[in-house]
A and B are shown apart, each in its own frame.
Chain A
Amino acid sequence: MKNFGSSILNQKEIAIGYREMTISWPQSLEAPLPGQFLTVKVTENPAPLLRRPFALSGFDREKNTASLIYQLRGPATRLMATLEINSSIEVLSPLGNNFTLPEKDETPLLVAGGIGLGPVLYLARELDKNGFSPRLVVGGRTESFLPDLSNLKNGSIHYCSDDGSAGFRGTAVDYLKSLDWKELPSARLYSCGPQGMLNACHNLALEKNIPSEVSMEQMMACGVGACMGCAIEVIGPEQYARVCKEGPVFDSRRIKWT
């Protein structure tokens, strides 16, 4: 974990309202793992004040570059979109925990929606590299975004949209339900996106009795476990867990879904 000055090496619009940014990564710093995130100080001015968290969407150790995919939402992301190539930003990373790898015989099912695409893409690429055959299901509003996964050896990608305009008609979870589960003797579910989607993934995991991890979101201030601001409700001896420290990736059975 380190707070470092990073150069913006590239940034481009990848879908309406979504951008991908590639930044430089210190050679001496550990590689971020899929699921981990960074926080960005977007300005030296006192507003917007807090650093903003974003999941890593990719990492290249040879080039020492990392990438993130972000949606334009408010003041911080609008400012980020105006930053020119070669300008610098302050980044704190790697933060939080990461997705756990599947067992050898498990089929990883990855579900992404909206801003959840970044970490899931990174996970898909890493799993593919490690000899797994990830099935990536992208749902909802990102149907206009077709990530380049041409270099995946074993993985596959499936698009879902509510109106059927792109790929499967229905939600990502509807798509998963439509699969022939006898073909998937052991599967493991990973999801990141809107809360409703995560909850649906959790319910599916219960129904199919498969392990499932979700990447959660909460407002953050410190990002390093110091302020207790990013708590979410969990089941267990402790009522709350910090998304920035115990998360952002949780066993979906640990979350107190509301």
Chain B
Amino acid sequence: MDLTVKIRNKTLPNPVGVASGTFGYGEEYAQLTDLSALGALYTKALTVEPRPGNALPRLVETPAGMINSIGLANVGVERFLTEKIPYLETLTCPVILNVAGSTEEEYASVISRVDSQNAIWAYEVNISCPNVKHGGMAFGTDPVQVERLTKTLRKLTDKAIIMKLTPNVTDIALIAQAAEAGGADAISCINTVMGMVVDINSRKPAIPAISGGLSGPAIRPVGVAAVWRVSRVVTIPVIGLGGILTWEDAVQYLLAGADAIQIGTGNFVTPDASVKVLNGIISYMKEAGFQKIEDFHGHF
């Protein structure tokens, strides 16, 4: 059985990754799950300058989901290179750096400054964060800007560029096509869905940022539909995420057209969800007689 997934000129060992912002830099989960079994580890978003993050509180639970307003809290490029890279270098799984910025120059600057690091397997470009004013979602909702940004970044590196899309758009397929036209090597979808909770006792929003990013099982059908729409219109691999807790959830994504998947909020609930999901996918493939990931595709 071949579980590998080809992206640009390299292959991921298996289709199960852990999503940006939910798994730190791996170290936090090292005692709880086998990091060497990960198909890919997507790091927390990295910006040029350190970001302390948004006002408090940053989390609220919702029916079968949660809203976060972390605000891309991260240590910035300089400290990333000295504090995070040494640990990432010890990992055997592919490490995909999630990159964020508020201008094209900022995205470019992150990539230029870290590109010589062998520990970085590829970039996932976050043009979809709903939690900062200029946190990329402004890019991610405009196909013209998406194509231009992708083109700019494409020139800076030989590593794969994965564009991570927001579902908060009228037609995600258009954005995916723009990313492919700009030279993207893969598409990740989806980032969180914009959501809001009002506290009826205080008569105020539950989080000071008013709205935040909804994740977890509540958004799974939104993610599956996005993967279906996107995989119809692009030829590059599609990495599906949103609400995956179990292998059954992951198989839905693969059948809808995903080549790989990521687990985000699911890690909070089950720290070794990635291992369990991968084992479930393997069993399902055995039973179905699937030899490779493409065998999931084309059933409808």
Q: Which of under 10, 10 to 19, 20 to 34, or 35 or more describes the interface residues of A?
A: 20 to 34
A228 CA to B31 CA, complexed, in Å: 19
Residues of B within 8 A of A46 (CB): 64, 216-218, 245
Check: A232 CB closer than 8 A to any chain B CB: yes
Contact A50 B63 (CB under 8 A): no
Per-residue B-contact encoding for A229-249, CB less than 8 Å = 1, 0 else:
111110000111000000000
Check A219 against B216 for contact (C-beta < 8 Å).
no
The majority secondary structure among interface residues of chain A is: loop
Are A49 and B65 neighbours in the complex by a CB distance under 8 Å?
Answer: yes
Q: How far is the CB of A85 from chain B (nearest CB, A)?
A: 25
Considering only residues 33-54 of chain B, those with a C-beta below 8 Å from chain A are 44, 52-53
A224 and B28: CB pair below 8 A? yes
In the assembly, what is the distance between CA of A222 and CA of B263, in Å? 13
Shortest CB distance A235–B (Å) = 13
With A49-B66, A50-B268, A221-B265 known to touch, is A232 a contact of B56 (CB < 8 Å)? Answer: yes
Q: Are A92 and B269 in contact (CB under 8 A)?
A: no
Query: 1/0 contact trace for A18-47 toward B, CB 8 Å?
Result: 000000000000000000000001000011
Docked complex: A30-81 residues within 8 A CB-CB of B: 41, 46-51
Q: How far is the CA of A225 from the CA of B25 in the complex (A)?
A: 10
Closest CB-CB distance, A48 to chain B, in whole Å? 7
Count residues of chain B with CB under 8 A from any CB of chain A.
Answer: 35
| Chain B interface mostly | loop
CA distance A117 to B232 in the complex (A): 57
Contact of B267 among A49, A222, A233 (CB under 8 A): A222
For window 255-300 of B, CB contacts with A under 8 Å fall at 265, 267-272
Bound CA–CA A197/B63 (angstroms): 32
Chain B residues, CB < 8 A from A238: 52
In the complex, which residues of chain B have a beta carbon less than 8 angstroms from the beta carbon of A223? 268
Please, which residues of chain B bring their CB within 8 A of the CB of A92? 32, 271
| Partner among A47, A49, A228 whose Cβ is within 8 Å of the Cβ of B58 | A228
**B217/A49 in contact, CB under 8 A:** yes
Q: Which residue in B32, B216, B217, B265 is a CB contact (below 8 Å) of A3?
A: B32
Across the interface, A218 reaches (CB within 8 A) one of B57, B70, B265, namely B57
CB-CB contacts below 8 Å: B203-225 with A: 216-218
Chain B residues, CB < 8 A from A218:
56-57
Q: Does B234 make an interface contact (CB < 8 A)?
A: no
Most B CB within 10 A of own CB, among A218, A227, A239: A227
A226 beta carbon closer than 8 Å to chain B:
yes
* A2-B270 Cα distance, complex, nearest whole Å: 12
1/0 per residue, CB under 8 A from B, across A181-205: the answer is 0000000000000000000000000
Chain B nearest Cβ from A256, distance in angstroms: 10
Q: Does A1 contact B (CB under 8 A)?
A: yes
> In the complex, A192→B190 CA distance in Å?
40
| Residue contact B28 to A222, C-beta cutoff 8 Å | yes
Given contacts A1-B32, A226-B29, contact A221 B268 (CB under 8 A): yes
**Interface assignment of B59: CB less than 8 Å from any CB of chain A:** yes
Contact B58 A231 (CB under 8 A): yes
Residues in B neighbouring A233, C-beta threshold 8 A: 56
Check if A120 is an interface residue, CB within 8 A of chain B: no
Task: Name the interface residues of B1-30: CB closer than 8 Å to any CB of A.
Answer: 21-24, 28-29
Contacts known (A51-B269, A221-B268, A222-B28); A227 close to B70, Cβ less than 8 A? yes
A111 at the interface (CB under 8 A from B): no
Cross-chain contact of B61 among A41, A48, A226 (Cβ < 8 A): A48
| CB contact under 8 A between A41 and B269, given known A49-B216, A238-B52 | yes
Which of B23, B28, B29, B265 contacts A49, CB < 8 Å? B265
Q: Is the pair B59, A219 in contact by a Cβ cutoff of 8 Å?
A: yes
A228-B53, A238-B52 are contacts. A47–B64 as well, Cβ < 8 Å?
yes
Q: Is B188 an interface residue (CB 8 A)?
A: no
Contact A222-B22, Cβ < 8 Å, known A3-B272, A240-B53: yes
Q: What is the bound-complex CA distance between A233 and B73, given in angstroms?
A: 13
With A46-B216, A49-B217, A49-B269 as contacts: A228 and B73 at CB distance below 8 Å:
yes
Alpha-carbon distance between A226 and B73 when the two chains are bound, in angstroms: 11
B65 surroundings in chain A (CB, below 8 A) = 49
Q: What residues of A have a CB within 8 angstroms of the CB of B58 in the complex?
A: 219, 228-231
In-complex Cβ contact of B66 among A2, A41, A221, A228 (8 A): A221
The chain B residue sitting closest to A75, CB to CB, is B61
Q: A2-B31, A49-B65 are in contact. Are A227 and B53 (CB under 8 A)?
A: no
A residues touching B (Cβ–Cβ < 8 Å)?
Answer: 1-3, 41, 46-51, 92, 218-233, 238-240
20 contacts between A and B (CB under 8 A): A3-B32, A41-B269, A46-B217, A47-B63, A49-B61, A49-B65, A50-B61, A50-B268, A50-B269, A219-B59, A219-B60, A221-B68, A222-B22, A224-B29, A227-B24, A227-B68, A228-B53, A231-B53, A239-B52, A240-B73
Interface residues in chain B, defined as those with a beta carbon under 8 Å from any beta carbon in chain A: 21-24, 28-29, 31-32, 44, 52-53, 56-61, 63-66, 68, 70, 73, 216-218, 245, 265, 267-272
Top 9 closest pairs, chain A to chain B, by CB: A226-B24, A46-B217, A226-B28, A46-B64, A219-B59, A229-B59, A239-B52, A228-B73, A47-B64
